[in-house]
Amino acid sequence: MSATLGTLINQLEPTWSIGLFENLDQAGLESSSPWNNAGTGHSALCELNYTAAKADGSVDPAKAIGINEQFQISRQFYAWAVENKRVAGNGFINALPHMSFVIGEDHSKYLQTRYDALKPNVLFDELEITNDLDTINEWTPLVAKGRDESQKVAASRVVSGTDVDFGRLTADLTNSLGAAGASINFGHKVKNLKRDGAGWELTVKDKASGAVKTVKAKFVFVGAGGGALPLLQKSGIDEIKGFGGFPVSGQFLRCTDETIINQHHAKVYGQASVGAPPMSVPHLDTRFVDGKRSLMFGPYAGFSMNFLKSTGQMDLPLSLRPHNIIPMLAVAKDNMDLTTYLIKEVLKSRAKKDLSLAEYFPQADGSKWELITAGQRVQVIKKDAKKGGVLQFGTEVITSSDGTISGLLGASPGASTATPIMIGLLSRCFPKQFAGWESKLKDIVPSYGQKLNDNPALYAEVKAATDKALGLN
């Protein structure tokens, strides 16, 4: 998020002075690291949680279309970044089919309803569907081989999906931002921030020397991932009142056998269990990390009270404030399904984890898979007039009324939608300058200001250009 925002501001206002303070020794090691997130690109081609069936069984395509539309904006930004040498090359993005796979009569019917709802839209016009195990075997042999043939199964896919290594993208954007004149400070923790006249004063600790310094800024973006809630609370802005965070940790199984890794070439997403947070949908997932192919399965959810992978267990209790206690309690009361799901997941033995893997890869041998810890997701809890508080699964931008500070809370989709989220933030925080930036924004995002999902000709043009720049055709 910070690398994207910094790059945009640097392009729109090259004379503005930008400072970036990162607690860790490199950029992109927390949620944006490819080992820590799901890395699908969250373009809603295969994630069924964006098209949940309604009570009458129908499927509303709007959310999936909206997310895909947002990803198209990010893709254009990536293409611009490659063409303008803001990233070292196009290796951070790879073509990879996106598939959904379901088991059982009801789920198969649902997948057909989803297909019928999405297929007419140009952003989903490549969607294919099948109930035939032989076809699934061609699409994804690991999922089909050894499967009980009496099982009713269905799969859909979009061949032109992508895998994005957000860690590498973040590192490259940050490095090029430094080369363009921004002050990049790794190993620097922002400890506090307070108002300073019309702007802000940050207290920053250099972890290597222990030195503490103050930094003044007219505008602050708190792009601290799970660390954003505590920093926004420290800022004292009214807009953060009533917000809390609920951390969900995760684990993946990572395949250690090259022969198996090379037999799979897709992201295969299934259905979430009852009560599971939407992004805990199981998936068997090819990904490219620093250019090397890997295979993951998961995530398995867990509970720990830290907001970042690199912080301690006191984050949750320390985030409690008089103004967020009621929303937090309301969410605890209203989300018993989630609590039950988390307890079950935490208690899941390695043997049970292997059984979950076998649902997607019937011939899996657990000894060829290692357990790794994923990133922390901090789900947003916010005040709600009717219920007291609600748990929210997307991201939420919090901006002070004077627009001098803004921060991002929440999880997925986040990485894949960073560009539209940051453009939205610029329009809110810099209303006077924003109109003057629009032509430069169109250089970065050629479709800026227009919708692609109702404009097939423009979509075809933009897709062809971005595919070419990103080496995807």
Ligand X SMILES: Cc1cc2nc3c(=O)[nH]c(=O)nc-3n(C[C@H](O)[C@H](O)[C@H](O)COP(=O)(O)OP(=O)(O)OC[C@H]3O[C@@H](n4cnc5c(N)ncnc54)[C@H](O)[C@@H]3O)c2cc1C
- Please say which residue, 330 or 418, places its beta carbon nearer to ligand X: 418
- Only one of the segments 15-23, 172-180, 195-203, 237-245 lies at the binding site for ligand X (rule: CB under 6 A); that segment is 15-23
CA 292 to chain centre: 21
Q: Note whether 1 binds ligand X by CB under 6 A.
A: yes
At its nearest, how many Å lie between ligand X and the CB of residue 305?
15
At its nearest, how many Å lie between ligand X and the CB of residue 442?
24
For residue 240, count other CB atoms closer than 10 A to its CB: 24
**Residues 11, 12, 15, 17: is their CA dihedral positive or negative?**
negative
Q: Note whether 20 binds ligand X by CB under 6 A.
A: no
Q: Which residue is nearest to ligand X (CB)?
A: 414
Q: Note whether 412 binds ligand X by CB under 6 A.
A: yes
Scored b (16 or more CB within 10 A) or e, 308-320 reads: bbebeeebbeebe
- Please say which residue, 108 or 170, places its beta carbon nearer to ligand X: 170
DSSP code at position 270: -
- Only one of the segments 51-59, 239-247, 381-389, 405-413 lies at the binding site for ligand X (rule: CB under 6 A); that segment is 405-413
- Only one of the segments 147-155, 327-335, 343-351, 412-420 lies at the binding site for ligand X (rule: CB under 6 A); that segment is 412-420
At its nearest, how many Å lie between ligand X and the CB of residue 299?
5
- At 344, list the tokens: 């079950």
Q: Note whether 411 binds ligand X by CB under 6 A.
A: yes
Write out the binding residues for ligand X, residues 287-346 only, by CB under 6 A. Answer: 299, 308
Give the 3-state secondary structure of residue 20. Answer: strand
Q: 7, 10, 37, 466: which one contacts ligand X (CB under 6 A)? A: 37
Residues 32 and 27: their CA atoms lie apart, in Å, by 9
CB 373 within 8 A of CB 309: yes
Q: How would you classify the pairing of strands 377-384 and 93-95?
A: unpaired
Torsion (CA) 353, 359, 364, 365 in degrees, nearest 10: 30
Q: How would you classify the pairing of strands 19-22 and 183-186?
A: parallel
CA 204 to chain centre: 27
Write out the binding residues for ligand X, residues 414-453 only, by CB under 6 A. Answer: 414-416
Give the ranges where 180-237 is alpha helix by DSSP (H).
228-235
At its nearest, how many Å lie between ligand X and the CB of residue 78?
13
Write out the binding residues for ligand X, residues 207-236 only, by CB under 6 A. Answer: 223-225, 227, 231
- Please say which residue, 63 or 442, places its beta carbon nearer to ligand X: 63
- Please say which residue, 166 or 246, places its beta carbon nearer to ligand X: 166
Site size for ligand X (CB under 6 A)? 38
Give the 3-state secondary structure of residue 354. Answer: helix
At its nearest, how many Å lie between ligand X and the CB of residue 229?
10
- Of 392, 427, 431, 397, nearest to 232 by C-alpha is 397
**Residues 412, 416, 419, 420: is their CA dihedral positive or negative?**
negative
Q: Note whether 43 binds ligand X by CB under 6 A.
A: no
At its nearest, how many Å lie between ligand X and the CB of residue 17?
18
Q: Note whether 48 binds ligand X by CB under 6 A.
A: no
Write out the binding residues for ligand X, residues 156-185 only, by CB under 6 A. Answer: 166
Residues 168 and 3: their CA atoms lie apart, in Å, by 11
Q: Note whether 271 binds ligand X by CB under 6 A.
A: no
- Please say which residue, 43 or 108, places its beta carbon nearer to ligand X: 43
Q: 46, 169, 190, 380: which one contacts ligand X (CB under 6 A)? A: 190
- At 216, list the tokens: 């003044």
Q: Note whether 267 binds ligand X by CB under 6 A.
A: no
CB 163 within 8 A of CB 107: no
- Only one of the segments 253-261, 343-351, 369-377, 444-452 lies at the binding site for ligand X (rule: CB under 6 A); that segment is 369-377
At its nearest, how many Å lie between ligand X and the CB of residue 145?
26
- At 65, list the tokens: 């279309």
DSSP E strands, 393-436:
395-399, 405-410
Torsion (CA) 272, 278, 283, 287 in degrees, nearest 10: 180
Q: Note whether 264 binds ligand X by CB under 6 A.
A: no
CB 77 within 8 A of CB 445: yes
Phi, psi of 289 (to 5 degrees): -115, 120
Q: Note whether 42 binds ligand X by CB under 6 A.
A: yes
At its nearest, how many Å lie between ligand X and the CB of residue 27?
7
Q: Note whether 272 binds ligand X by CB under 6 A.
A: no
Q: 40, 100, 176, 319: which one contacts ligand X (CB under 6 A)? A: 40
Preceding amide of 141 cis, omega within 30: no
Residues found near ligand X in the complex (CB under 6 A): 1-2, 21-24, 29-32, 36-40, 42, 166, 189-190, 223-225, 227, 231, 250, 279, 299, 308, 374-375, 377, 408, 411-416
